[in-house]
Amino acid sequence: YGQPPPAAPARTNRFAIAALVTGVLGLVLLAVGFAIAALLQAGGRGEKGKGLAIGGLVASSVWIVGGLAAVIVAAGSVTSVDRDESGEVTGEDRVVLVNLRAGDCFTGFEEETTKVLVTALPCARPHDGEVIAKLKLPGDEYPGDKEITEQTDEACFQKSLHLQRSRYIKNLEPYNLWPDRTGWDAGDREVICLVRYTGGTLTTSIGQTLDPSLKLWDELAPGDCLGKWDEEELAQRTVSCTGPYWIQVYANFKLGAGPYPGEKAAERGARRGCEQRAAKLFRGHRSPDLTWWLYPEKVEWEAGNRTAVCFGESQDRPLRKPMLPR
């Protein structure tokens, strides 16, 4: 009998070669994909290339570690901003966003990289972002991802509520940063509230864009006149009481101190106080067609707002002179 032919040498898996080449070139996603395919195929086909595939993974890991190191080094070298004696930013500095202060303006904001770098600069120069507030959350135990998100959103909403009076409110997008579990366990409780202007660029701080004729409900004072109440806006525009208007504030006052009494109790307190003041104010004079009131919700109460506001409203026609008796 003749001898069997010699076995053909094992072929090298093509995916393994591709994994090594793309890994060396820094094409990390391709390298990982090719390496996985090579490791799955080579054993089943009796092909060589396991070492090449692993080499591609190792090369990819080197690129990843190097990239992270570069970001960390860059971040560590730009933690300060040039400021004057009053604390205002004076130059243009690349800085880690979390190291900015409330009131600082910046540009280069990207939602997906908010914890990396932005360019801090004076608010008089073109910019598209501003830090509205920085605060710390209470508590010792990590409250969970959902709870910390809700706490952050509510805290930042209260801190940025005054921006509802900006003439650019429709172009202001809020973004909030909060610590993850790792940061919380390391003692980080800081929350950063910022807004991005989507209408191009600004050359002033957002606080300078507030319209004095716009007021939040709890900022309205006795004598303020309004048009029809706009349910879609948090800030209402005040108008002249000698022009056509529909609503006038006739009183405001503080509800009792203490813990939040519940919605029904808060409403009773506001109604009772407004009705007493209306009876006294309009005694012997024509009363408004309709009286109504606003009072704080729980989150506003817990933030220190105890204000109740009383309104008189004309239902049939606009008024052209003050509703309140002189």
One-letter amino acid at 3 equals Q
119 within domain boundaries: yes
Count of domains forming the chain: 3
- If asked whether residues 205 and 228 sit together in one domain, one would say no
pLDDT of amino acid 1: 42
- If asked whether residues 195 and 119 sit together in one domain, one would say yes
- If asked whether residues 164 and 220 sit together in one domain, one would say no
pLDDT of amino acid 42: 62
| Residues 230-263 pLDDT 10s | 988 889 999 999 989 999 999 999 999 899 999 9
Residue 134 to residue 120: CA distance in whole angstroms: 16
- If asked whether residues 44 and 132 sit together in one domain, one would say no
- If asked whether residues 223 and 202 sit together in one domain, one would say no
* CB within 8 Å of 60: residues ≥ 6 apart: 23, 26, 28, 31, 32, 35
- If asked whether residues 70 and 177 sit together in one domain, one would say no
The residue among 186, 209, 232 that closes a domain is: 209
83 within domain boundaries: no
Rounded to a whole number of angstroms, the CA Rg of the chain reads 32
The residue among 161, 190, 209 that closes a domain is: 209
3 within domain boundaries: no
Alpha helices in the chain (DSSP H): 14-24, 28-45, 50-76, 145-159, 181-185, 263-281, 298-302
- If asked whether residues 141 and 164 sit together in one domain, one would say yes
Q: What per-residue string of b and e applies to 177-186 under the rule 16 or more CB within 10 Å gives b? A: bbbeeeebee
The residue among 158, 193, 209 that closes a domain is: 209
Phi (first) and psi of residue 106, to 5 degrees = -155, 170
- Domain that includes residue 281, residue range: 214-313
Residue 294 to residue 221: CA distance in whole angstroms: 13
182 within domain boundaries: yes
Residue 62 to residue 56: CA distance in whole angstroms: 10
Return the sign of the alpha-carbon dihedral for residues 153, 157, 112, 76.
negative
Return the sign of the alpha-carbon dihedral for residues 308, 312, 313, 319.
negative
Query: What is the pLDDT tens value at each position of the chain, 326 positions in all?
Result: 445 455 445 566 677 677 677 767 767 777 677 767 766 766 666 666 677 767 767 776 776 665 655 555 554 445 578 888 888 998 888 888 888 999 999 998 876 555 578 899 999 999 999 999 999 998 889 989 899 999 999 899 989 999 999 999 999 999 998 988 888 998 999 999 999 999 999 999 999 999 999 999 999 999 999 999 998 888 999 999 998 999 999 999 999 989 999 999 999 999 999 999 999 999 989 899 999 999 999 988 988 899 999 999 999 999 999 999 88
2 within domain boundaries: no
Return the sign of the alpha-carbon dihedral for residues 212, 215, 218, 224.
positive
160 within domain boundaries: yes
- If asked whether residues 197 and 227 sit together in one domain, one would say no
pLDDT of amino acid 67: 61
151 within domain boundaries: yes
- If asked whether residues 203 and 228 sit together in one domain, one would say no
- If asked whether residues 228 and 158 sit together in one domain, one would say no
- If asked whether residues 113 and 191 sit together in one domain, one would say yes
Give the global pTM.
0.67
pLDDT of amino acid 69: 52
- Token code pair at residue 118: 């932005």
- If asked whether residues 155 and 255 sit together in one domain, one would say no
320 within domain boundaries: no
